[in-house]
Homo-oligomer: A and B are copies of this chain.
Amino acid sequence: MPQKATSPKYVRLTGEERRARLIEAGLACMARGGIQEFTVDKICAEAGVSRGLIIHHFGSMNALLTAVYATMYDGSTKLTRDLAPGETRLAALLNAFFAPEVFNREAFNIWLTLWGQISINPDLRDEHRVQYADYVRDVADAISEVAVARGRNVDADALARSLVCLIDGLGIQHCIEPTSMQADDAKAACRFFLLPHLGSF
C-alpha cells in the first residue's frame, strides 16, 4: 500500500545554501581531526549527504579547502567589525579576539591546520596574503588611535605585527594545553604587552 505523500528521499537546497553547509561540515571535521579528517567521506557524512556533492558544488576538495579558509577568516574579522560603545577600538578588538566564539580549542585546531596548508597550497597562500594584511592594518590603526589620544609616539605598525604574532602564539598554546593558557590569561598577556607602550586603555 503505497503512501500518497511519501517523504522525499532528500532535501533539495540552493547551491549557495548547500555550499555553506558543506563548508560548515568541513570546519567541524577539521576541528575534530585536522587535515586528516578533512576528507570526502567524513565531510559528506557530517553534512548528511552523498559523496558526490562536494565535487558537484566545489569542483574539487582543494576548492572546498579554500572556501573553508575564506569562511574562517570572514568569521573572525566580522566579529571585530561592529562594536565599541564607549571603549577604544583597540580594547574592543582585544575583547573580540578573546571572546569564546573566536578563542577556543576548536577554532585554533582549525587555524593550526589551515596555517599548515598555507605554506603548501598556493591557492591558500594568495588568499592569506590579502586577508592578513587587512587584519594587521586594522590592529595598527587601533593602536595608532590610542597612541595619538595618549600623545605617545609609537611604531604602531611594528607593534601591531608583533601583537598579531603574540595572539597567534597564545591561541596555539590554548589549543594544545587549554588549562595552561585561558582566554583571560591570553588577553592579560596582550594588555601587558601593550602597557609599556600605550599605558592603560
Contacts and interface: CB of A to CB of B under 8 A. Distances in A.
Contacts of A125: 176
Give the residue among A116, A125, A162, A189 with the most B Cβ atoms within 10 A.
A116
A197 interface: yes
Contacts of A176: 115, 118-119, 125, 128, 132
A92 to B, nearest CB: 21
Nearest to A192: B162
Contact of A162 (B105, B116, B166): B166
A41 to B, nearest CB: 16
A112 B105 contact: no
Chain A binding surface, main DSSP class? helix
- Please tell me how many copies of the chain the complex holds: 2
Contacts of A161: 173, 180-181, 189
A167 B170 CA distance: 10
A109 interface: yes
A119 B36 CA distance: 13
A175 interface: yes
A172 interface: yes
B109 A112 contact: no
A115 B168 CA distance: 13
Interface of A: 33-36, 105, 109, 112-113, 115-120, 125, 128-129, 132, 158, 161-162, 164-170, 172-173, 175-177, 180-181, 189, 192-193, 195-197
Given A161-B181, A164-B169, A168-B172, 9 more contacts: A35-B35, A112-B116, A125-B176, A128-B176, A158-B192, A161-B180, A166-B166, A172-B172, A196-B197
